[in-house]
Structure 1
Amino acid sequence: MEALILSCGTGGGHNSAGKAVAEELKRRNHNAVMLNPYNLRSKKLAGKINNVYIALAQKAPRFFGAVYGAGQLYRKLPFRSPVYFINRLMVSALGEYLAENHFDIIIMTHLFPAEIITNMRNSGIAVPKTMFIGTDYTCIPFTEETDCDVYVIPSAELSDDYTKKGIAKEKLCPLGIPVLGRFSESENRDEVRQKLGLDLNKKYILVSGGSMGGGQIKKAIKTLSSVIADSENTELITICGNNKKLFDKLKNADYPKVTVLGFTENMAEYMKGADLFVTKPGGLSSTEAAVSKVPILHTAAIPGCETRNAEFFSKNGMSRLCKASKRELSDAIKIINDEKACLDMTENQRRKINSNAAADICDLAERLTKCEN
């Protein structure tokens, strides 16, 4: 099979999902090319789109939420969104690329490429089989105006959310959100901790704001640091992702019992070695944590799809939700010292989250293209 995976860097989750599918396809001896379609026109353009999104999410989450809310209102109008028409400008560039390169299927982990493909189809341009993969636990605005052969959604519980927005039920495939294989690999916690140089006898709270280092992570670190001050055997590990300013601020703050790290390739290991994961409710990072079977405490979400992610996880007993206040973050200590609460949470994660989503998605791709591994 020749697969083209289209994604964008507006947050790390879309690219991570794409990489997970590419990893599994290559393991099956298929060819997979992963591409940001805007690079076909200009790398500068692709970078600008990514950076504007990330800056909004990091520095102006309320405004970001207002834009998301406007999208929810706009989708009720009887005509296509500006997102659709803006992506029409990419039709010629992607069309030329597809004319020069053969693919059996196009897999999209981001709305924007799906809008480009839809413009192509509506213009009468032939495209291969198409698959859209949702990376949040909700039907995000304008998904319904795209035209893909199948829509992979995170859970069957979300089917009504998609069909009510106008997506045909027969196109929905509730296979889950794909994560890289190392997150689903079973590993002994003590061995993981030894690999990371962590103390086997301590409890560790892992704190992250996703690849962007977003959410109220700085406030959470300050509060948690004071919460664990009197706990001799509890420490924090903070992952700042690509947010260098946050990394520098936390390093200079010199909070006691807090280890500050930037971007790491060992996120799966840190999750598996932790007793609790405190994070904003990104769809991909929350799924990675659930697959890693670590209890989750969700801090205040960036308004929009992350709010829906937090609701889905907390409703299903896979996480607890707090708003980063000292009283609520004190729950972190209660959770890691409550063995039953931790076991209940990880058992709910096991039941509700498909740890084999990447494999199931590749099975579906093989059926659509009739290309066996």
Structure 2
Amino acid sequence: MQTLILSCNTGAGHNSCAQAVQEAYHSRGEICNITDSLQFISEKASTFISNWHTRIYRHAPRLFDAGYQRAESHEDIFCEGTPIYKLLSSGAERMYQYIRSAGYDNIICTHVFPALALTEMCRQHPCLQLVTSHISTDYTCAPCTADSALDWYFIPSTSLLGEFEQCGLQPQKLIASGIPVRQQFYQRVSQEAGKANAGISPAHQHILMMCGSMGCGPMEEIISYLCPYLTTEQELSVVCGTNDDLRKKLQKRTEKYSQVHVLGTVNNVPQLMQASDLFLTKPGGLSTSEAMAAELPMVLIDAVAGCETHNLNFFLRNGMAVTANTPKAIADTTIKTLNAPVLLSKMRAAMRSQTECTAADKIYEWIYSHAK
């Protein structure tokens, strides 16, 4: 099979998921490429949609949440014939030409936007023989997923099968695979070795703080409460991602705390997780899945809401995380959890029970064994 993964640049999670699946295919010597699905509308449209998604997500989380809730309660806005559907499917013919010319016969979507476009393409070209699938990258059924018509839908957990069925997806098309993350997150090293590799004293407790690739949420406020709590034997690494303004502000705010390390964009997140005792993060679908694979307990920050509230509830419900409602309470909870070894052990055990095999491998094996 020749595989094409259709992703989009609305947040790093969809691309991270795509890379994890690509890794599984490449490890077996298979052809597997990733492309930005929004480019089939136009390059300008892709840039515009992605940039505005980042701006709203980072600077106006309440607006993002309101938009998501409206989409949940008015899913017909994505139905065939609506303006949004027409926009998202307007690149269907260009997508067809791209897929046909390259000889792809296995198409995987890591976002609902390409799933809708792929559905329209298949309607326009019913003779094209393809295996088509969609991977959910959040612990919920995203609005309008059921408006697509693909062969398979890979979902995060068996406990969510009922929700996806209620949204209108056929149960025989649902496969509980988990959310794919790269193999590095499953690698195990001793915590002492992990800390030494990351430049953290093996004798120290280490908190890793991230709020997505965009560095969003009340990170400044939380850090202002958290830093005074830190002892000389506790360290905090803060990853700001692409938010360079935040990085500069935090470096200035924390300059008197030698045990605080403020970072920008990094390429060693798996290693940082291996070096950590606790993960302070917003509940993005990929970041929480990566932490689960790494068996790293979490304190979750409900920074953006929308689909991430569903993620938060999933991890709370399954005993893999804790949370609080205000920046000060988040800081308090972080320190209490860090100093609660029994609770940390229970969280790690809960994560271990959810990761029997890697999601990317399961997806590969399912598609390969059920190919037309």
State the shift of 1:84 in Å.
2.0
Secondary structure of residue in 2 paired with 1:369: coil
- Between stretches 354-363 and 54-63, larger displacement belongs to 354-363
Contact 1:184–1:355 at 8 Å: present in 2 too? no
Q: Distance in 1 between matches of 2:290 and 2:326?
A: 22
Partner residue, 1:9: 9
TM-score, with normalisation over the residues of structure 2? 0.95
- 2:114 partner amino acid: P
Aligned equivalents of 1:94 and 1:16: distance in 2? 22
User: 345-354 or 51-60: which moved more?
Assistant: 345-354
Return 314-323 or 218-227, whichever deviates more.
218-227
Instruction: Name 1:69's counterpart in structure 2.
Output: 69
| Matched letter for residue 166 of structure 1 | G
Q: How does 1:319-334 map to 2 (within 5 A)?
A: 319-334=321-336
Aligned partners of 2:133 and 2:151 also within 8 Å? yes
* Displacement of 1:216: 2.1
SS at match of 1:92: helix
| SS of corresponding position for 1:170 | helix
Q: How far apart, CA to CA, are the structure 2 residues paired with 1:79 and 1:179?
A: 31
Matches within 5 A, 1:117-136: 117-125=118-126, 126=128, 128-136=130-138
Larger mean CA deviation between 212-221 and 121-130 belongs to 121-130
> Matches of 1:307 and 1:97 in 2, distance apart?
37
Q: Is the 8 A contact 1:300 1:324 kept in 2?
A: no
2:229 aligns with 227
For 2:138 and 2:355, the matched residues in 1 are separated by 13
CA contact (8 A) 2:279 2:298 kept: yes
Other-structure match for 2:45:
45
C-alpha deviation, 1:218, in angstroms: 2.2
Structure-1 residue corresponding to 2:280: 278
1:32 is paired with a residue of what secondary structure?
strand
Deviations 1:135-189 (A, max 9, x none): 0000011101011100000001111111111100000000100000100111222
- Give the counterpart of 2:360 among 352, 358, 361: 358
SS in 1 for 2:33: strand
Task: Name the CA distance, whole Å, in 2 between partners of 1:269 and 1:309.
Answer: 24
- For residue 171 of structure 2, the aligned residue among 169, 172, 194 is 169
| Alpha-carbon distance in structure 2 between the residues aligned to 1:354 and 1:138 | 20
Say whether the 8 Å CA contact 2:324–2:330 is kept in structure 1. Answer: yes
Rounded Cα–Cα distance in structure 1 between residues aligned with 2:73 and 2:8: 24
Letter in 2 for 1:240: C
Report the Cα distance in structure 2 between the residues aligned to 1:117 and 1:103, rounded to whole angstroms.
13
CA distance in 1 between counterparts of 2:286 and 2:297 reads: 15
Instruction: Check the 8 A contact 2:280/2:301 in 1, yes or no.
Output: yes
User: Which stretch of the first structure deviates more once superposed, 156-165 or 125-134?
Assistant: 125-134
TM-score (norm 1): 0.94
Judging changes above 3 Å, is the alpha-carbon distance between structure 1 residues 294 and 136 closer, same or farther for their aligned structure 2 residues? same
Match for residue 306 of structure 2 among 304, 307, 313:
304
> Partners of 2:277 and 2:78 in 1: how far apart?
49
Query: Over residues 61-96 of structure 1, what are the superposed CA-to-partner deviations in whole Å (9 max), with x where a residue is unaligned?
Result: 000011001101211679545432211211121011
User: Structure 1's 5 and 76: CA in aligned 2 closer, same or farther, altered over 3 A?
Assistant: closer
Give the letter aligned to residue 90 of structure 1.
G
After TM superposition, give the deviation of residue 41 of structure 1 in Å.
5.0
CA contact (8 A) 1:207 1:236 kept: yes
Q: Structure 1 294/169 Cα, relative in aligned 2: closer, same or farther at 3 Å? A: same
Q: Partner amino acid for 1:111?
A: V
Structure 2 partner of 1:114? 115
Matched, 1:100 2:101: yes
Specify whether residues 127 and 210 from structure 1 end up closer, same or farther in structure 2 by C-alpha distance, changes over 3 A only: farther
Task: Give the drift of 1:232.
Answer: 2.4
How many residue pairs end up in the alignment? 368
Distance 1:301 1:127 in 2: 43
Instruction: Tell me which residue corresponds to 1:58.
Output: 58
SS at match of 2:207: strand
For the pair 1:34 / 2:34, whether they are aligned, the reply is yes
Q: What is the rounded CA distance, in whole Å, between the counterparts of 2:38 and 2:219 in structure 1?
A: 31
* 2:266 alignment partner, SS class: coil
Aligned to 1:149: 151
Contiguous gaps of at least 5 residues in structure 1:
none
CA RMSD of aligned residues (A): 1.7
How far apart are the structure 2 equivalents of 1:319 and 1:129? Answer: 36
Contact kept in structure 1, 2:281 and 2:298, CA below 8 Å = yes
How far the C-alpha of 1:347 sits from its partner, in A, is 0.5
By how many angstroms is 1:226 displaced?
A: 2.6
- 1:216 alignment partner, one of 203, 209, 218: 218
Asked if 1:85 corresponds to 2:78, the answer is no
Write the deviation string for residues 210-258 of structure 1: whole angstroms up to 9, x where unpaired. 1111222222222211332xx2211210011111121122122235232
1:83 & 1:329 partners in 2: Cα distance?
41
